[in-house]
Amino acid sequence: MVCACREDGEWRILGRNPAIYPIRSRDTRMRALLAFARAVGHLTDAVYAAIRWLTLVMILVGALNALARYATRYTGVSLASNAAFDLQWYMFSLIFLLGAAYGLRHDVHVRVDVLYGRVAPRTRAWIDLVGTVLFLVPFCVMMLLTSWPAVRNSWAVREGSPDPGGLARYPIKTVLLVCFALLLLQALAQIITGIAELRDGTTEPSAGESPGTPVPGGL
């Protein structure tokens, strides 16, 4: 079994034999890139911490909307509000869109796993790296480019809800740009840490974190 330990300020690989050999020292550029990746990770986690409680609020608003509909039916007095309905799906949109980067960072997104779980850790690292570079990054860039005109036009006319008393639409459309910007940043961070894993056999953990799963071999 190949594992990693820290000695004299540097990460080292312990192979199957007792010999310990130093990993190539990370140059200044790689250290800066890893620091950038950690900063992006902290931002992703901070956004998640800010939106996770919206799930509870969304459920409460949805329950109140349902009760208001039933009360309207039996009392004849309109208690339901289009603004409340809009607020419910606005919060769902915030949770889904702003939580995408967190799902990528912590690998909790839905994965259709046919072979991924059966291959070696190094092969999985290559699959993640190639998939991120070839598919995720271009997708994020494409979505930013295609969403920008719609968001710009929505702000230009201060787009509102088509339903009477509904909420404005242009603020929630702006979240599309924020979503894919955060997802793109996290994708770049994943590329950086993926290269570090493949090159050195493990990633450099941030303060308070334990080393990641070692990846045998190096670039």
For the entire predicted model, the pTM comes to: 0.77
Predicted confidence (pLDDT) per residue in 115-124, tens digit: 888 888 889 9
Predicted confidence (pLDDT) per residue in 45-75, tens digit: 999 999 999 999 999 999 998 898 888 888 8
Residue with tokens 């419910």: 88
User: What SS3 class is residue 63?
Assistant: helix
**Distance of alpha carbon 137 from alpha carbon 183, whole angstroms:** 9
Residue with tokens 């990054």: 137
pLDDT for res 219: 54
Q: Is 79 exposed, middle or buried (0-12, 13-18, 19+ CB in 10 A)?
A: middle
**Distance of alpha carbon 51 from alpha carbon 211, whole angstroms:** 28
pLDDT for res 183: 97
Max Cα distance, the chain (Å): 82
Under the banding of pLDDT at 50, 70 and 90, the label for residue 203 is: very low
pLDDT for res 13: 41
Overall average pLDDT of the 127-139 stretch: 95
- Cα angle 178, 36, 202 (rounded to 5 degrees) comes to 120
